[in-house]
Structure 1
Amino acid sequence: MGRFLIVLVMAFLPGLGFAQDKLPYPQHYTVLTNDFADILSPEAEALINAELQAARDHRGREMTVVTIRSRDDYLPSSDIASFSKTLFNAWGIGNAERNDGLLLLVAIDDREVRIALGAGYPARQDGVAARIIQSEIIPAFKEGRVADGILAGTRAALSRIKLPEEAAATGSQPQSSSPLTPRALEQAPEPRVVGLVDRILAFFESSPFFATILAAVTAVAGFFGFQGFQRNRPRKCPQCGKMMMRLGDAQEDQYLDHGQLIEEQVKSKDYGVWFCPRDEHVTVIGYPKWFSKHAACPECKYHTYETTRTVLSPATTASTGIAQLDHACKNCGHTATETTTIPRVTQSSSSSSSSSGSSSSSFGGGSSSGGGSSGSW
């Protein structure tokens, strides 16, 4: 019996040693976006951080975005809900009194996502989080647009998930009216327009954060509207000078080569084809997609080069990790493999002393009781 126990203990020792190398959850290095999975481009991360920082500056709302490769890289958890609750409470996301923190967690290899809510949110906000995941995040993830989904989910969570006092303030706005005399009406030929302008100006003065968001949305809509006009504007044939016609999706494929067709399939580029019926001249113009995960292939030069990242050994606070990068071109079949070093996990205390800028280096001590919603794709 004693020998059996010794053998049993020796059999479990390697597993125990491996578990000791793992952390129960990652240690944050910023209060904004912690991209442990390394799936966001610098441009995408900057856009997400801008939303998070604006919420902290104008509303005192703490939200953080976290990406990991898999929950298996850390100590065992029953599901993403329990993992996110442990992470939420360990970091102390949100204000300690209001418990208004928000966490958007993406486990890319597990194909799981969760929006975790602070304990200050009522249970009905779980349904709001569920709708955000299903309408804003999952559709983009299914198309491979992970950064787009995270950005849309962040914006929706910050604008639609509300504390009880915020929902009450939004639902019942006080209205003031001052009746006008007939003579005053004569002097004000367009009272409705003036009142509307006054209300708009008052809105901008009383709600600078929402005014900023509205201005940003207007600017983005104007940019994409101009971009759409540039793509679809009439073009003249460079040979005869007559106006060309833009072909539809079904017709343009016959004028695209194999690499261009693959680029459209993997959604790294969108092509427009213009045809001149007079002399049959064809003009092909490619438009790169934002946040595409496909880079230019070193062999064929088409944007069909996809990289798959596999963690061989996760990083800990004591040592760096190793990840394997497998590259494959969807067009020409070129492949390559390399390894890269994963930086050591930084303790939150050290990040506090090294951080700079306007954002705080630590959270406010909030907690979660497990509220929120999860999804998978």
Structure 2
Amino acid sequence: MMPEHPAIRLVAGLWLLALLAAGAVSAQSYPARMATYVNDYAGVLSDDTTTELNRLLAEADAGGVEMMIVTIRRIADYATGDSTIESFATNLFNTWGIGDAATNRGVLLLVAVDDRKVRLELGRGWDRAYDTTAKVVIDEYILPAFRQGDYERGIRQGAQQAVRVLTGPVPEVSPLSNPDLLKLLAGGGLAGLGTVGLGVWLYMRSRCPQCGQHTLQRSSVVLSAPTYDSTGQKEVTLHCSSCGFHDVRLVTMAMLTESSSDSSSDS
């Protein structure tokens, strides 16, 4: 048996290190885009609903609106460094290059099932009038079903309503029916949202720190949008419908960063 040459051992060692490094990079990646429109990594959609949504989004795409639906179990499953659904959605949006880079009118509906969070991300090409409309889609068409544990219905209703309003004329006044949203608008709480795409998002209910019930609702409103040169600020409101616990705090938003992909549209 011929002795193994040191150079051969070195090459083999480098090859093994390359494989390990590739695995580490893969573990830190966002999920791979497996389908054109619906990527149900959480497994909450039936085959029939997936087919229905694919048909809906294909028709929207033909009309100039590229929308994608992504479900995951939890953000922590992907070692991307993102700690919030906002940053995960924005970075996934840019990584996948959703929408035409020339128009920046892509749309992403992201649901993190086990984190109990949902976000509707709009590209920068959308008129600011759609920001509030997008929040209404979440608040009135998605969350009611989610709170009943019916993710499939919430996603289907949200997608249908989002496509309806995004393929229609630009709304002069968003169709609000929730009195709490009207109060926010009356107080100017939604000003300046369009500068960063969808500037308002709503979380699912979670456990209240005061009474322990899963009736704590968290909402956020952007007060000053972040830019590529400065941080922004948002107002986070916590309210428990069981015990009345209420808390409002200001949170600093990180500066925007340029996408690493030339074909990506910014959100």
Q: Does TM, normalized by the shorter one, top 0.5?
A: yes
Matches within 5 A, 1:220-259: none
Kindly provide the CA deviation profile for residues 171-214 of structure 1, in whole angstroms up to 9, marking residues without a partner as x: 9xxxxxxxxxxxxxxxxxxxxxxxxxxxxxxxxxxxxxxxxxxx
**Does the 8 A contact of 1:51 with 1:155 survive in 2?**
yes
Question: Residue in 2 aligned with 1:49?
Answer: 54
SS in 1 for 2:120: strand
CA spacing shift, 1:70–1:39, aligned 2, 3 Å: same
User: Alpha-carbon deviation of 1:121?
Assistant: 1.2
Instruction: Give the Cα separation in 2 of the matches to 1:162 and 1:79.
Output: 29
Instruction: Give the Cα separation in 1 of the matches to 2:96 and 2:25.
Output: 21
Question: Residue in 2 aligned with 1:62?
Answer: 66
- Quick one: which of 92, 97, 121 aligns to 1:116? 121
**Does the 8 A contact of 2:124 with 2:196 survive in 1?**
yes
Instruction: Give the Cα separation in 2 of the matches to 1:27 and 1:370.
Output: 25
User: Alpha-carbon deviation of 1:28?
Assistant: 0.5
Q: Counterpart amino acid of 2:170?
A: A
Question: Residue in 1 aligned with 2:104?
Answer: 99
SS in 2 for 1:167: coil
Instruction: Give the Cα separation in 2 of the matches to 1:22 and 1:370.
Output: 29
Question: Residue in 1 aligned with 2:201?
Answer: 374
Q: Counterpart amino acid of 2:52?
A: L
Question: Residue in 1 aligned with 2:76?
Answer: 72
Instruction: Give the Cα separation in 2 of the matches to 1:369 and 1:42.
Output: 37
- Quick one: which of 152, 155, 159 aligns to 2:157? 152
CA spacing shift, 1:106–1:54, aligned 2, 3 Å: same
Q: Counterpart amino acid of 2:139?
A: Q
User: Alpha-carbon deviation of 1:34?
Assistant: 0.3
- Work out the percentage of aligned pairs sharing the same amino acid: 37
User: Alpha-carbon deviation of 1:138?
Assistant: 0.3
Q: Counterpart amino acid of 2:197?
A: G
Instruction: Give the Cα separation in 2 of the matches to 1:42 and 1:151.
Output: 13
Instruction: Give the Cα separation in 2 of the matches to 1:83 and 1:68.
Output: 11
Instruction: Give the Cα separation in 2 of the matches to 1:95 and 1:21.
Output: 26
Q: Counterpart amino acid of 2:203?
A: S
- Quick one: which of 125, 130, 133 aligns to 2:130? 125
User: Alpha-carbon deviation of 1:26?
Assistant: 0.9
Q: Counterpart amino acid of 1:86?
A: N
Instruction: Give the Cα separation in 1 of the matches to 2:55 and 2:28.
Output: 29
User: Alpha-carbon deviation of 1:27?
Assistant: 1.4
Structure with the greater alpha carbon radius of gyration: 1
Question: Residue in 2 aligned with 1:320?
Answer: none
Is 1:82 equivalent to 2:87 in the alignment?
A: yes
User: Alpha-carbon deviation of 1:125?
Assistant: 1.8
SS in 2 for 1:93: coil
Instruction: Give unpaired runs (5+ residues) of structure 1.
Output: 1-15, 172-367
**Does the 8 A contact of 2:41 with 2:70 survive in 1?**
yes
Instruction: Give unpaired runs (5+ residues) of structure 2.
Output: 1-20, 174-193, 205-267
Q: Counterpart amino acid of 1:376?
A: Y
Question: Residue in 1 aligned with 2:43?
Answer: 38
Instruction: Give the Cα separation in 1 of the matches to 2:68 and 2:195.
Output: 17
User: Alpha-carbon deviation of 1:20?
Assistant: 4.5
Instruction: Give the Cα separation in 1 of the matches to 2:159 and 2:53.
Output: 7
Q: Counterpart amino acid of 2:45?
A: L
Instruction: Name the TM-score, length of structure 1 as normaliser.
Output: 0.40
Q: Counterpart amino acid of 1:66?
A: V
Kindly provide the CA deviation profile for residues 68-102 of structure 1, in whole angstroms up to 9, marking residues without a partner as x: 11110112213111111101111111122221111
SS in 2 for 1:29: coil
Kindly provide the CA deviation profile for residues 21-72 of structure 1, in whole angstroms up to 9, marking residues without a partner as x: 5233111011210011111111111111111111122x02100000011110
**Does the 8 A contact of 1:93 with 1:101 survive in 2?**
yes
SS in 2 for 1:371: coil
Matches within 5 A, 1:225-304: none
Q: Counterpart amino acid of 2:57?
A: L
More contact order relative to length (CA 8 Å, sep ≥ 6): 1
